A = this chain, B = another copy of it.
């Protein structure tokens, strides 16, 4: 979102990096509510004054940090929809188990329920996460593997919904057999 701006003072870059790193850590540990500017300052070693020089408020810092959570999306191309979907879901399961954003995301979802700014940020994050799924489904439609009439968003929900459900609501394990069951159901 915010670029290096071509020529950025080394000191600024260093400070921002340190602050964002510590913000990530606190986000992963305590969610959005667990981030305190005082503590970010104390642990990162960057003065609170400096933090407020770069972000106008705690809220701005949080949005900036959260909006960088999404990893670079990668759309596989195994040759078949089933193979692509299996690759995507396996990768997603791995992320849900290990990635930091997996424990932060509920905070964002909760905050988006009441804060408009957070809501647009979450929408962008969501679009980033879902992009590879949409790409794969679009390709499958082009090859005729699934009918054109099927709504894109429906297929995405059928594929990803059950995983999210297990990770955050049911708190159950997600094995390969479950992934296959999802694919069987969604690409029927």
Using CB atoms and an 8 Å cutoff, list the residues of chain A in contact with chain B.
30-31, 33-34, 103, 106-107, 109-110, 112-114, 119, 123, 126, 130, 150-151, 153-154, 156-158, 160-166, 168-172, 178, 181-182, 184-186, 188
Q: How far is the CA of A164 from the CA of B161 in the complex (A)?
A: 7
How many copies of this chain does one complex carry?
Answer: 2
Please tell me if the beta carbons of B169 and A164 are within 8 angstroms of each other in the complex.
yes
Q: Which residues of B contact A109 (CB under 8 A)?
A: 106, 109-110, 168-169
Q: Which residues of B contact A161 (CB under 8 A)?
A: 161-166
**A interface: dominant SS:** helix
In the complex, the chain B residue whose C-beta lies closest to that of A168 is: B109
Q: Which residues of B contact A33 (CB under 8 A)?
A: 33
Q: How far is the CA of A185 from the CA of B126 in the complex (A)?
A: 23
Q: How far is the CA of A107 from the CA of B182 in the complex (A)?
A: 27
